[in-house]
Amino acid sequence: MSDIYRIRAAAARARGHVRRTPLLSSAALDARAGRRIWVKAECLQVTGSFKARGAWAAVSALAPEVRARGVIAFSSGNHAQGVAWAAAAHGAPAVILMPQDAPAVKIEGTRALGAEVVLYDRLTQDRAALAVGIGGDRGLTLIPPYDHPEVIAGQGTTGLEIVADAAEAGIAAAEVLVCCGGGGLASGIALALEAEAPAFRVRTAEPAGFDDMARSLASGDRVSNPAATGSICDAILTPRPGAMTFPILRERAGPGLAVSDDEALAAMSLAFSHLHIVLEPGGAVALAAALFRGDELATGDVIAVASGGNVESALFAEAIARYPA
C-alpha cells in the first residue's frame, strides 16, 4: 500500500469522527513576523491534540476480533488521550502507560476517557519494555506514539487538510513548521505534501536542548537527547527520532529548528491574544519558530501546526502574565 493511499484511507475512516481543524491567520502575527503566518489549529482537535488522528487510524484499522481484546500505548499525555478516546469509541479496552511526572491534566484526562492508566518512572523504567510485557500478558495490541504506519498515516491527514485550505487561501508554496517529538506528525505531513503539494516543505520545530530531530537531520543519522527531562515542552520530549519516522524526514524535510522554553511561552500568549486559541508549550514551538526564527526560514508564507492545547491552567496563566501580547 502506498503512503498517500494509506493516508487517504485513514482520512476516509476518520470522517465524522476526527475534526477538520481550521487554518487561522492574524494581521498582528504577520506584522511581528514580517511575513504571512498561517496556523493549523490542531489544539481544537478531539482530545485537544493531533494525536487523535493517528490513534483513530490505528484503532480503526485493527481487525474487529483483535480490537476487541484491547490496546495498549505509552505516552506523556496526548497520545494517551487519543488512544483512550479511539478505543472507547470502538468499544475496546485500553491500558496506557504514562510517566509519573506527566501533567496531572493529561493523566486525569486519560482516565476520564475510560482507560486504565499505569504510571512509571521515565528515568529508571523502559516504557516500551513495560508495554510489551503488559500487552503480552493481557493479549493487547501495542499502538506506539509514532513508529507505526497507521499512526503516521493518521497524522498525515493533517497534511491533506493543509493542502486543501492553502489552495483556498491562494498559498502556492510555503514552509510548514511542525512541532516534533518522535516525528509521527512531521513525517505524515511530509508524505502528504510530497504527493499533493511538492512546493511545500516540512521543517521540524523542537525545544532547545531536546532538538534530537534537528541534530539527526543535520548529521544524517539518528542521535539521542542528552537528558530525558528539563523542558516545559513535555509533549514532545522523546529520547531520539523514531526508527520509522526519521528516514521519511531525512528524505523530505528541511533543516530542523529549535526554540527556547521562553519563546514557546511567548507564542502561547500571542496565540491566545491574536488567534483566541489555547496552546500547550510543546504545541506552540512551531508557532514560536515562525515568530522568532524568521532568519532561518525561506521568504514567503509559513504554515505552523499548533499541535496541542492540553496545558495546566497555572502554566498557561504564567505564559499570559510573563509575555503580555
Instruction: Please give the radius of gyration of the chain, using alpha carbons only, rounded to the nearest integer.
Output: 18
Residue 246 to residue 296: CA distance in whole angstroms: 21
Q: Out of 75, 187, 269, 307, which one is annotated catalytic?
A: 307
Residue 17 to residue 262: CA distance in whole angstroms: 35
Locus of grid cell 504545541: 283
Count of other CB atoms within 10 angstroms of residue 49: 29
Active site residue 106: no
Nearest Cα to 110, choosing from 86, 135, 80, 140? 80
> H/E/C letters for each residue in the chain?
CCHHHHHHHHHHHHCCCCCCCCEEECHHHHHHHCCCEEEEEHHHCHHHECHHHHHHHHHHHCCHHHHHHCEEEECCCHHHHHHHHHHHHCCCCEEEEEECCCCHHHHHHHHHCCCEEEEECCCCCCHHHHHHHHHHHHCCEECCCCCCHHHHHHHHHHHHHHHHHHHHHCCCCEEEEEECCCCHHHHHHHHHHHHHCCCEEEEEEEECCCCHHHHHHHHCCCCCCCCCCCCCCHHHCCCCCCCCHHHHHHHHCCCCEEECHHHHHHHHHHHHHHHCCCCCHHHHHHHHHHHHCHHHCCCCCEEEEECECCCCHHHHHHHHHHCCC
Active site residue 40: no
Q: Out of 51, 75, 216, 269, which one is annotated catalytic?
A: 51
Please report, as a single letter, which amino acid is at residue 7: I
Active site residues: 51, 307
